[in-house]
Amino acid sequence: MRAAALFCGPTIAAILLLALGLTAAPRRAIAANDHAPYLIALQRRAAALGLARRPEWLRLLHMEPGSLGALESQISDPLFFLAKRGRRNPQAELNATLAGFFGHPSVAGESVACRFHARYEWLDTQLHFNPQGLPPPSCPALTDWLKALDVGRIYVVFAANDLDSPASMFGHTLLRVDQKTEVPGERYLAYAVNYAAQTGTVNGMSYALRGLTGNFTGYYSVMPYYDKIRQYEGFDHRDLWEYPLRLDARQKQMLLWHLWELRGIGSRYYFFSRNCSYELLTLLAVTVPTIDLTRRFDRGIPYAIPIDTVRRLRDAGLVGKPLYQPSAARRLRWRYGQLGAPQRAWVRGYVDGRRKLPPPGGPAQQAGELEVAHEALYYHFQNGSLKRAAGLPRDRAALLARSKIEQQPNFEALQQPRLSPDEGHASGRVSLGMRASDGTTAALLRWRPAYHDRLDPPGGYLKGSEIEFLNLGLLVRPGQVTLADARVLSVQQLGMRDGLFHPWSWQVATGVRRYGLDGERAAPRGDLGGYLEGGPGMAWPLTDHLQAYVFSIAALDVNGSVSGNYALAGGVRAGLAAQWPRGVTSEVSAHWQGRMLGGTVPGWRLRASAQFTLGKQNGLRLTASYGHQRYNLASVELGWEHYF
C-alpha cells in the first residue's frame, strides 16, 4: 500500500496543523520545586501497584518480549518515549511520563499530558490524581479533533486481496469510523483509519526487498472513508467486508486517545509480519488490554495474514457479522449478466463507439442498458482502456437519455457470498498422504503456512485464483527422508474475460524442485535445484462454477541433473477448474514444454485432481498424473488436508 502518512481528513487537517504548530499550555504552570513531593509519591505508588508491568501500560507502549525474552517496544521512534531507556524499560518510561505531566518540555508543541493523553487517562484511573497537586490538562487541539470526528460506530474493514498489488496480495484491513449522526447508507461521510508504509517512488525488486526486510516506515493516517471506497471498490475492484466493532464508549475513547498519541510516529513495516493488519491489532489492543490479540503473530507463526487478524478479533468476540460491499466491477458484471443477448450486444457496441442511442427494448430495458453502459464506461475509464475524450461524450449522452426514462430497470439485487472471508478455511495447511509411482510408494508430508490454492474449499476466497507462500514437501520412505520440493511463492491470477471484461491473467512461481517428471516420483533420482517460471494467460468463466484458462510459460531451472546445469524452456499450460456443490473442487490440466536453451528436455504432462471437503478445516485430495519426458511416468497421490 502506497499511501501518504499524515492525518489528512479535510476537516481534521486544519485542526491538526493547529495542533502541530501550537503549544497546548497546561492550565497552570507548576514551579519546579512545587511538584517534587507529589511526583515522588505518585511514582512510589505506581511502583507499589506494579503499574509498569500491567498489560494496559505495556499495550500503550507496544511492548512485547524480544528474542531473548526481555521487553522491548516495537516502536523505535524516539519521539514516542520520554525516558532515555523507555523503549526497553517500562518502569523508566512510566516514571518519566509522570514527571512529564508536571512540566516536561512540550513534545512536538504539546504538553505531555495532551500528547500522550491515553497514558494520562489510564494513569489517572489507577493513581487518582489530586487536582490540587496535578491540575487536569487543557488540550484544545485534541478536544477539537475528537469533536470533529464525533465518533459513533466503528468497523474493522477487510478489503479483499488484490493479486495485482504485491502489498495487498493477502488483503488489507483498516478502520471505518462513523459519526454519531450518521445513519445506515451514509458511510461515505465516515472516516478511515489506515496504517500503511511510506514507500515513495520505490518500484520493482527494490520495493519487494525493502518491504520484506522492514526498510519501509509505516504510519497511521486518518482520511475520508470515501477515498478508500473509491480506491478499493472503484479502482482496484475489491470487495469490502465491514465488521462492526464491539467497543463501549470508554474503549472508543481510549482508541482515539491512543491514535492521537501515534500520529507522526513511525515504525518499521514488514510485508508479512508487522504489516497493516498487525499494527491495527496493536492499536485495538489498548482497548482490551487483558486479551493478547497479537500473541499468535508475535510468538507463534511469524507472519500476519490480514484475514487471520480479523479471525482473531472474531474469536475474541470483538466483531460482529460483517456488512458486504461489492466492488464496482462485481456489480457491473452482475447487472450485465442479467441483460439479454441483444441488450448486451448494444452495451458493448455503445461502449466501443459502434452503436448509437437509443438502446433496443422497452423503457425498463432501456433504463437497464443505459445504466450498465454508464457503469461500463466508468470502469473502462478507470482501467485506462478507454480515453476520456472518447468516452466522456458517450457517458454524458447515456446519462441524459437515462434521466428521461421514469421506469426503473428490473435488476435482481446482488446476493452476498454464502461465506464471508473470515468463514473460509484457515490460512495454514498441513497434509499427510501417500505417493505412488514406478512401483514405489512413499509417505508425503506437506506444510504450507499460507494461503489458498484452487483445490482448497473456495468459500471466502477469490474464485479460481491461488497464492501459496512456502509450500514444503517431504517424502518419507523406510530409512530415508528427502525434500520433495519447496515452493517459496506461487501465484496464479485468473482475470475472467467475457464480452465486457478483457483482463489478462498471469502466474509466477519460484522455489526449489526436482527437474521435470522427476518431481512426480515417489523416489526421485535427480538433484534439487532452484527454478523460476511464469507467464501471461487468459481465463474465461464457462459457468458460475467452472473456469477455463491457458498460460504461456517460460521456465528456468538451475539443476545439476540437466545438461549444462541449467534449462530454459517455453511452453503452454491449459486447464479447467471447477467448484462443485457439496464441497467438491476439481481441476484438470495439460502442460507442454519445449527447449529454448540449456539442457531442456521436451515433454508433456496431464494431471487430474479433486478434493472432497470433510468439514470446514479438513479435506481429502486425490491427484493422478501421467506424462512423457524421455520416458513415461504415472503417479498417484492421496492425502488428507488439514487447515489451521
Phi-psi region of 283 (alpha: psi -120 to 50; beta: other; left: phi over 0): alpha
Alpha carbon distances (Å) from 339 to 28, 336, 363, 391, 417: 71, 6, 14, 22, 21
pLDDT of residue 181: 85
Distance CA 468, CA 450 (A): 6
Distance CA 609, CA 520 (A): 14
Q: Which cell numbers hold the place of 72?
A: 522491548
Q: How confident is the model at residue 208 (pLDDT cuts 50, 70, 90)?
A: confident
Candidates 163, 162, 155, 337; CA nearest to 239 is: 162
DSSP 281: H
Distance CA 103, CA 113 (A): 9
DSSP alpha helices (H): ranges in 263-303?
Answer: 276-285, 295
Distance CA 160, CA 171 (A): 5
pLDDT of residue 105: 72
Contacts of 5 (CB under 8 A, 6+ apart): 196, 198, 217, 218, 219, 220, 221, 266
> CB count, 10 Å around CB of 417?
19
Helix (H) or strand (E) holding 387: none
Confirm if 527 and 514 have CB atoms less than 8 A apart.
yes
Confirm if 142 and 260 have CB atoms less than 8 A apart.
yes
> CB count, 10 Å around CB of 556?
19
Residues linked to residue 294 through DSSP beta bridges, in sequence order: none
Alpha carbon distances (Å) from 2 to 139, 166, 269, 511: 32, 11, 12, 28
Residues linked to residue 235 through DSSP beta bridges, in sequence order: none
What is residue 485's three-state secondary structure? strand
Q: Is the pLDDT of residue 8 over 50?
A: no
Alpha carbon distances (Å) from 91 to 44, 70, 473, 573: 11, 13, 47, 61
pLDDT of residue 26: 37
Candidates 406, 382, 412, 376; CA nearest to 394 is: 376
Average pLDDT of span 446-469: 91
Q: Which cell numbers hold the place of 445?
A: 508430508
Q: How confident is the model at residue 35 (pLDDT cuts 50, 70, 90)?
A: confident
Q: How confident is the model at residue 167 (pLDDT cuts 50, 70, 90)?
A: low
Question: How many percent of the chain have pLDDT more than 70?
Answer: 91
- Residue 390: what are its φ and ψ, rounded to 5°? -85, -40
pLDDT of residue 385: 81
Residues linked to residue 642 through DSSP beta bridges, in sequence order: 430, 618
pLDDT in tens, 133-155: 999 999 999 999 999 999 999 99
State the first-to-last Cα distance of the chain, in angstroms, to the nearest integer: 27
Alpha carbon distances (Å) from 625 to 169, 484, 594, 619, 632: 30, 16, 19, 20, 11
pLDDT of residue 120: 98
Candidates 468, 508, 464; CA nearest to 486 is: 468
pLDDT in tens, 560-592: 999 999 999 999 999 999 999 888 999 999 999
Cell numbers 426514462: residue: 405
pLDDT of residue 232: 80
Distance CA 68, CA 636 (A): 46
Q: How confident is the model at residue 14 (pLDDT cuts 50, 70, 90)?
A: very low
Candidates 218, 208, 42; CA nearest to 130 is: 42
Q: How confident is the model at residue 198 (pLDDT cuts 50, 70, 90)?
A: confident
Q: What is the mean pLDDT of the chain?
A: 89
pLDDT of residue 577: 96
Q: Is the pLDDT of residue 4 over 60?
A: no
Confirm if 109 and 22 have CB atoms less than 8 A apart.
yes
User: Which one is predicted more confidently, 406 or 214?
Assistant: 406
Q: Which cell numbers hold the place of 546?
A: 467452472
Confirm if 68 and 90 have CB atoms less than 8 A apart.
no
Q: What are the strands, taking DSSP E only, across 139-272?
A: 151-159, 172-179, 191-198, 216-224, 240-244, 267-269
Alpha carbon distances (Å) from 490 to 508, 520, 552, 572: 6, 18, 16, 17
Average pLDDT of span 386-407: 92
Candidates 316, 214, 229; CA nearest to 266 is: 214
The DSSP annotation for 305-371 comes to -HHHHHHHHHHTT-B-PPEEE--HHHHHHHHHHHS-HHHHHHHHHHHHTS--SSPSS-HHHHHHHHH
Helix (H) or strand (E) holding 49: helix 36-49
User: Which one is predicted more confidently, 185 or 117?
Assistant: 117
Contacts of 391 (CB under 8 A, 6+ apart): 351, 377, 380, 381
Cell numbers 488540550: residue: 139
Candidates 520, 489, 505; CA nearest to 552 is: 505
pLDDT of residue 126: 98
Average pLDDT of span 486-498: 91
Q: Is the pLDDT of residue 300 over 90?
A: no
Question: How many percent of the chain have pLDDT more than 90?
Answer: 72
Chain mean position to CA 331:
22
Q: Is the pLDDT of residue 213 over 90?
A: no
Q: How confident is the model at residue 11 (pLDDT cuts 50, 70, 90)?
A: very low
> CB count, 10 Å around CB of 420?
21
User: Which one is predicted more confidently, 546 or 189?
Assistant: 546
Chain mean position to CA 148:
29
Q: How confident is the model at residue 81 (pLDDT cuts 50, 70, 90)?
A: very high
Q: Is the pLDDT of residue 31 over 60?
A: no
Global pTM reads: 0.87
DSSP 421: G
pLDDT of residue 166: 60
Cell numbers 445506515: residue: 184
Return the minimum-mean-pLDDT range out of 173-182, 292-301, 337-346. 292-301
Q: Is the pLDDT of residue 7 over 70?
A: no
Residues linked to residue 578 through DSSP beta bridges, in sequence order: 546, 586
Max mean pLDDT range (105-109, 375-379, 542-546, 586-590): 586-590
Distance CA 309, CA 241 (A): 14
Q: Is the pLDDT of residue 599 over 60?
A: yes
Q: How confident is the model at residue 478 (pLDDT cuts 50, 70, 90)?
A: very high
Alpha carbon distances (Å) from 303 to 275, 294, 306, 326, 338: 9, 11, 10, 28, 42
- Residue 210: what are its φ and ψ, rounded to 5°? -65, -35
Distance CA 485, CA 342 (A): 51
Q: Is the peptide bond before 342 cis (omega within 30 degrees of 0)?
A: no
Average pLDDT of span 524-542: 96
Distance CA 595, CA 616 (A): 43
pLDDT in tens, 494-523: 989 988 888 899 999 999 999 999 999 999
CA angle 446, 483, 461 (to 5 degrees): 30
Q: Is the pLDDT of residue 13 over 50?
A: no
Contacts of 577 (CB under 8 A, 6+ apart): 454, 464, 494, 546, 547, 549, 585, 586, 587
Q: How confident is the model at residue 229 (pLDDT cuts 50, 70, 90)?
A: confident
Confirm if 182 and 155 have CB atoms less than 8 A apart.
no
Q: Is the pLDDT of residue 249 over 90?
A: yes
